[in-house]
Structure 1
Amino acid sequence: MRPYATAQLIGDRSHQCDATATATGPNGTRAFVLLDGIGSSDEVHDWTRTAARRLARTAAYHADAETGLRAQYDRYAADPDRQGPWARQPDACAVVAVASPRWLTVAWCGDARAYLLVGGRLIRLTQDHNLRRVYPPNDIHGGGNRNIVTSCLGNYETDQQVKDRYGHPAIETTTRMLENSRLLLASDGAYEPLEDAGLDLSGYLVGDVGETARAFVDTAVATARAVTDPYADNATVLIADLRTTN
């Protein structure tokens, strides 16, 4: 039985601009990637698929999520066509997780998320790069616009430039010892409708990975249309069972 699965639905957008990819590196290291393309066009659709594969291969080769994401982030940032505030090239929120024999490393830019289900407890591993994080809700206002991201793959700004503007670096990371668990990578179109409706995401992560992935995006799109918003975004998940070798 395959230990991972992906599923996606286009929702009500004109194009499916999310993409996933996996790759295997030295010593059985496995990289899992999810990209949430910004905008809806043929160009973004094609770019996210190529970028996801490149990121997965690079992260698997280096056996580290941060090294892989930084290599690809810097590669795109160096493109002269991406320089300056008026440049417009395809970009995407990105999250990558790398499971090596001992460690799980996660790196991200944007608001695609990574979660870990351990012993029935769901742990969120990432923090969103969007204006809702920069301006949290309070008693006076409802917070910043969560649909405006503050970092993404394809951006040209450095860690320090992003941190000076928004209070967080362009790329953030986390590392955990690898343990028997279930990994979830999700685009905002997958997690937001369930979260907005007050549903427990862990309840949608039990069972066969393929059936679970399909049910997750089905529920996300149906919930977005019926409960939280009449508009459903692209919804994409990658679910993987992680096992220690001990």
Structure 2
Amino acid sequence: MSEDTGEDLAVKPHATARRLGDRVFQCDATAVCTMPDGTRAYALLDGVGDTPAVRAWTRTAARRLARAAAGHGDAEAGLRAEYERYAADPARHDPEHDLPSAAAVVAVYVPGGWFSVAWSGDARAYLLLDGLGPLRQLTEDHNVRRAYDGHGDRNLITACLGGTRDDEETEHRWGHPAIECMSGPARPGWLLLASDGAYEPHEDIDHNLGDYLSGDPREVAERLVDDAVRRARAQRDPYADNATALIARLT
């Protein structure tokens, strides 16, 4: 088993780029874990808050999530294992706790086999299959905007890794489970995982993220997050969040 925390952008055929934006700390984190049989898991976490504690926790949690998903060979199984492990911590059930949490998305690709994605929060996964149409958003945001049919605050998330509500409790309160997932046959194409700071500035001006998905993954990821920060700062209420993208060429 090998791991890549996303720090080495020269690694191919996947790469991560991160930008601090206007925050004090970079609280997004990514990790990639590859099993001996070629099964590979890609994880991205968008930490809630802007502190050194959140920054440290998301880095560790991303590595744990990637390892769990790769080991299970399935994104949902890996995310559920980590979600339940954090939720079992009694300290997290204290209403006054300040333990870190994060929006999380993880994808698992088994060459010649199966592809799966699971998420909790508003970090997203996109897929562009070779020769099979436009970019697809695979995830649905867990946020107040979704809960109130497009009228709530998109920046208030309704589920996250580090949360304690199970699927039934979250469904009852917000209309969706704590963890959602999708899966299908493994096919060649491009995978994009993105924090809200990376996708929202593009979405706000109707820019198609699929335009970035060609060429060198490192250059693509760098350009996507650079443009996200630039576009965020050019808007009416300029503020650039942490922007992180993980791009992988699936073969």
TM-score by length of 2: 0.92
The CA distance in 2 between the partners of 1:169 and 1:25, in whole Å, is 29
- 1:69-88: per-residue Cα shift (whole Å, max 9, x none)? 00000000001110143322
Post-superposition Cα deviations, 1:111-168, rounded to whole Å, max 9, x if no partner, equal: 000000123510110000000101123xxxxx10000000000001111110110011
Q: 1:156 aligns with which of 161, 164, 174?
A: 164
Alignment correspondent of 1:202:
210
TM-superposed CA distance for 1:181, in Å, is 0.6
Q: Select which of 55, 58, 73 maps to 1:48.
A: 58
* Structure 2 counterpart of 1:62, from 61, 67, 72: 72
Alpha-carbon distance between aligned partners in 2 of 1:83 and 1:109, rounded to the nearest angstrom: 18
- Output the CA distance in 2 between the equivalents of 1:48 and 1:104: 24
CA spacing shift, 1:229–1:212, aligned 2, 3 Å: farther
Distance 1:108 1:242 in 2: 19
Mapping of 1:4-83 within 5 angstroms? 4-83=14-93
Deviation at 1:229, TM superposition (A): 3.5
The residue aligned with 1:135 is 148
Specify whether residues 62 and 228 from structure 1 end up closer, same or farther in structure 2 by C-alpha distance, changes over 3 A only. farther
**CA distance in structure 2 between the aligned counterparts of 1:14 and 1:68, rounded to whole angstroms:** 31
Q: What's the offset of the Cα at 1:91?
A: 0.2
Tell me the SS of whatever aligns to 1:121: coil
SS of the residue 2:135 aligns to: strand
Unaligned runs of 5+ in 1: 138-142
- Tell me how large the CA RMSD over aligned residues is: 1.1
Give 1:204 deviation, angstroms. Answer: 1.9
Q: Which residue of 1 aligns with 2:122?
A: 111
CA–CA distance in structure 2, aligned partners of residues 187 and 221 of structure 1: 12
Q: For residue 188 of structure 1, what is the aligned residue in structure 2?
A: 196
Name 1:167's counterpart in structure 2. Answer: 175
- The answer to whether the aligner puts 1:212 opposite 2:220 as a matched pair is yes
Determine if contact 1:213/1:237 at 8 Å carries over to the other structure: yes
Deviates more, 1:79-88 or 1:230-239: 79-88
Structure 2 residues not aligned, in runs of 5+: 1-10
Deviating above 3 A after TM superposition, structure 1's stretches of 4 or more consecutive aligned residues are none
Secondary structure of the structure 1 residue equivalent to 2:173: helix
Distance 2:208 2:34 in 1: 31
1:26 CA displacement: 4.7
- Shift of the alpha carbon at 1:207? 1.7
Amino acid across the alignment from 1:132: R
Shift of 1:51: 0.2
- Distance in 1 (alpha carbons) for counterparts of 2:193 and 2:78: 17
In 2, the alpha carbon distance for the partners of 1:152 and 1:176 equals 24
**Which of 149, 167, 186 matches 1:178?**
186
What's the offset of the Cα at 1:228? 5.5
Q: Percent identity?
A: 59
